[in-house]
Amino acid sequence: MKKLILILLLPYLLIAATEKDSISNIEYKSDEIIVIDDDFNAVQKNMNTVLNSVDDLLKYNNSIDLITRANFASEAIVRGYDQNRLSVTIDGMRMFSACIDKMDPITSYIEVENLKASEVSADKSDMSHGISVGGSLNFITNKPTINNDFRIVLDNQISSASEYYNSKGRVDYSSGNFATLISYSVKNAGNFTAGNSTLIGNSSFSKENVKLNTLYNSSTNITHGLEYIYDHSADVGYPALIMDTRSTEMNMLSYQLGMKNINEVILSWDTRVYYNRISHLMDDYNRSDEEIMNRSVMPGMYMPMDGTTETMGFLTKNKLLVGDDILKFTLEVFRMNAFSDMKMEMLETGREMYLINLGDIETYSGGIYTGYFTQLNESLLLKLNGRIDYITRKVNSEFARATAESYWGNNYSNNNLQLNTSANLQLEISESQNANITLSRVERAPTHLESFGFYIYNIADNSIYIGNPDLNKEKSYSVNLGYDFHSDNFNLKLNLYNDYIVDYIAGLVDDGVEVVETFAQSFKLFQNIGNANITGMEASIDYNINSSFGLLGKLKYQYSQSLTYNEALPFTPPLSGILNFSYTTNSYTGVIGVEFAAEQNNISKYINIEDSTPGFVILNWRNNYKINDTFKLRFGIDNIFDKYYFTHFSINNLPSLGRNLYLGLVVGM
Ligand SMILES: [Cu+2]
């Protein structure tokens, strides 16, 4: 039966269960890992099975907030850093969003039934899955296990606030040296109702996801894995944007060769080749003539837009035992192509124009990572990380080059070398206390959009963005201090951090563009806008009061400032947190949860145009009841008091769901 378990301070055990390590597990404690579907004996067992989605799960990571643009897959941001400033991977594999309006964040391609764990390296103490100024976010998906078993789990759920229906399931089959796992998810939602019974039009969606995995053990320590993921979403309404997703299709295929305990030195060696392709189509055909004629941007025309990305890559990671120390080594190469274009169809004259937004931008990237972990003495562990990536980009489309010539001249390619280092020192103060410090210097090359995007509209500041091939890399110098206290039934975790960012990249109004006076948008060119500083704290407690009652609390705060413009950076998290009180018996788990955020007045006015957001408190009640070994019920009410609210990360202040009753039945055979 599927279990959702939230674990803080989790050692790496379940991912590297069969590997022998000479170094104790404290090496991994600085990263917050959330694990699902595992019987690990966590302090916080009470949370199992009351989470309904990947968004739900991500919310429980104290470094993560979610940007919402619709009642559909949110974009995970880590400590206020969006996807441009994070290395987001699935099992270490790269994937790039196809929509230039950010309708398809990478998290939209993952379903909760496919997820085994999410690894966040906000302190940048792990660079094995790439690194950016905001750290990295890697999703580990479920794999089949060789256990000579056959199991089917079907899970159906309905929810009231959006007339949402979700059917999902998985089949596990294993025989001899062979195992397979098939999972699917189908989702359908109508228009949703926000708080105070406010119906939000044009907010429905549908989505399907299928994942096939096979595993073959050719010997005791060699495995071959083949994985295929298909994801399709259609007619996703974006009330906060001017367009809607008509259809998005993602195909991903990978082959993995895994070797463990090859000899005394090589503990593990994983190699992967992969390919993925996303094609995204959005349009405004569903919008009323009145809306099209009167909107502030490009009135009087439909603007269907296509976007595709195609990525193929090779990744090999190994872990070596050198004396008593551990050496990790990763080599990664990938190629990515991004294309996006749009038509402009005049409603009145039927005339058509055409524009390329991403002109088949081809990226080649190669990287080498080395991590060295050494136990200095009984209580001190040192992790040293180094990573070098070389990234080269060019615009292939002649049409796109010609269109952008007045901006870029003959400058259609750029190359960047990224040098990243971090050092992490972990101190075991006593049996129950640990402290750690991480220092890092991380840089990122501009994204393909920042370099070569052309006429990309951002509704948040009503501006049209143009890429800049000559951007400098963005650099960050960070310090992260961590402390944790753990006893049999109580965990406390604290993080304090400061990031000093040099050459922060953002769009600034381009004085060089002559704009027709009636044109309501400003044109912004991506530029290095000077330095910025971010300071923040995260605290969490996890307290099992007794065998029945538990308490989970999380609190975070951040202060950010652009030193050039003396204002906050966009999407700065306000003081916010959760407080969950749980009751559990053998067959029942109930959780009363409070989610809250303070008002946010520390906003960006120049870099982006944000408004102050009011604070909110909402109350949720979630339950899981095990009827017998075959049947399980999941039910509850989110936002019990039907509060009308939106977060600071909601585009155009799109409200969140109002009171939402849900009921799910899980059948496991
Ligand atoms: Cu889109």
Which domains, ranges and CATH numbers included, belong to the chain?
4-668 (2.40.170.20)
Backbone dihedral region of 192: left (phi > 0), alpha (psi from -120 to 50 degrees) or beta?
beta
Q: How far is the CA of 136 from the centre of ligand 1 (A)?
A: 24
Calculate how far, in angstroms, residue 361's C-alpha sits from the geometric centre of ligand 1: 18
What is the arithmetic mean of pLDDT over 96-107? Answer: 93
Whole-number Å distance, alpha carbon 227 to ligand 1 midpoint, is 27
Q: How far is the CA of 572 from the centre of ligand 1 (A)?
A: 24
Give how far Cα 361 sits from Cα of 163, 335, 353, 474, Å.
40, 10, 22, 20
| pLDDT value of residue 148 | 85
Q: Cα–Cα distances in Å, from 508 out to 65, 544, 651?
A: 25, 50, 20
pLDDT at residue 344 in the model: 94
Instruction: Quote the mean pLDDT of the chain.
Output: 89
Q: What's the rounded mean pLDDT across residues 11-30?
A: 35
The model carries a pTM of: 0.89
Residue 515 CA to ligand 1 centre (angstroms): 26
Task: Kindly state the average pLDDT of the residues 439-459.
Answer: 94
Q: What's the pLDDT at 650?
A: 94
Q: How far is the CA of 97 from the centre of ligand 1 (A)?
A: 10
Cα 626 to middle of ligand 1, angstroms: 41
Q: Judging by beta carbons within 10 Å of its beta carbon (0-12, 13-18, 19+), is residue 296 exposed, middle or buried? A: exposed
Give percent of the chain above pLDDT 70. 91
Amino acid letter at 615? G
**CA 244 to ligand 1 centroid distance, Å:** 7
pLDDT level of residue 340 (50, 70, 90 thresholds): very high
Give 415 Cα–ligand 1 centroid separation in angstroms.
28
Of 122-126, 161-165, 251-255, 448-452, least confident by mean pLDDT is 122-126
Please tell me the distance between residue 145's alpha carbon and the centre of ligand 1 in angstroms. Answer: 37
Cα-to-centroid distance, 238 and ligand 1 (Å): 9
Ligand 1 centroid–CA 178 distance in Å is 40
What is the CA(247)–ligand 1 centre distance, in A?
Answer: 9
pLDDT (tens digit per residue) in 181-230: 999 999 999 999 999 999 999 999 999 999 999 999 999 899 999 999 99
Q: CA geometry: angle at 548 spanning 5 and 31, to 5°?
A: 30
- Rounded to 5 degrees, φ, ψ at 84 are -65, -25
Q: Report CA(484)–ligand 1 centroid distance (Å).
A: 42
Q: 658: CA distance to ligand 1 center in Å?
A: 26
How many angstroms is it from 48 CA to the middle of ligand 1? 34
pLDDT at 65: 92
Cα–Cα dist 371/383, whole Å: 7
Q: What is the pLDDT of residue 55?
A: 84
Confidence check: pLDDT of 28 > 60: no
- 94, 313 in Cβ contact below 8 A? yes
- Distance from the CA of 335 to the center of ligand 1, in angstroms? 22
For the chain, percent of residues with pLDDT exceeding 90: 75
How many angstroms separate the alpha carbon of residue 343 from the centre of ligand 1?
Answer: 14
505-526 pLDDT, tens digit each: 999 987 766 655 567 788 899 9
Q: Tell me the pLDDT band of 3, cut-offs 50, 70 and 90.
A: very low
Give CA–CA dist 461/520, Å, rounded: 11
Residue 312 has, within 13 A of its CA and on its CB side, a CA count of: 2
Predicted local distance difference test score (pLDDT) of residue 516: 59
Task: State mean pLDDT over 470-479.
Answer: 96
Predicted pLDDT at 517: 58
Each residue's pLDDT tens digit, 246-288 = 999 999 999 999 999 888 899 999 999 999 999 999 999 999 9
Q: Using CA atoms, how far apart are residues 386 and 373, in angstroms rounded to an integer?
A: 12
Q: How far apart are CA 66 and CA 60, in angstroms?
A: 11
The CA distances from residue 549 to 582, 593, 626, 635, in Å, are 6, 13, 18, 19
pLDDT at residue 1 greater than cutoff 50: no
- Helix (H) or strand (E) segment spanning residue 451: helix 448-452
Mean pLDDT confidence for 55-62:
83
Residue 535 banded pLDDT, cuts 50, 70, 90: very high
Measured in angstroms, how far is the CA atom of residue 7 from the centroid of ligand 1?
35
For residue 31, is pLDDT > 80?
A: no
Q: What's residue 22's pLDDT? A: 40
**Residue 661 and residue 159 in contact, taking contact as beta carbons nearer than 8 Å:** yes
* 430 Cβ neighbours under 8 A, 6+ residues apart: none
Distance from Cα 172 to the centre of ligand 1, integer Å: 35
Whole-angstrom distance, CA of residue 361 vs CA of residue 413 = 9
Q: Per-residue confidence at 59, pLDDT binned at 50, 70, 90? A: confident
Residue 36: pLDDT over 70: no
- Ligand 1 mean position to 245 CA, how many Å? 6
Å from CA of 31 to ligand 1 middle:
32
**How many A from CA of 87 to the centre of ligand 1?**
21
CA of 409 to the centre of ligand 1 (A): 28
State the pLDDT at residue 19. 37
Give the pLDDT band (50/70/90) at residue 112: confident
- Residues 504 and 529: their CA atoms lie apart, in Å, by 6
What is the CA(73)–ligand 1 centre distance, in A?
Answer: 13
Cα(490) to centroid of ligand 1, in Å? Answer: 45
Ligand 1 center from residue 240 Cα (angstroms):
12
Each residue's pLDDT tens digit, 150-165: 999 999 999 999 999 9
Q: How far, in Å, from the CA of 283 to the mean position of ligand 1?
A: 8
Percentages (nearest 5) of helix, strand, coil residues in the chain:
5, 55, 35
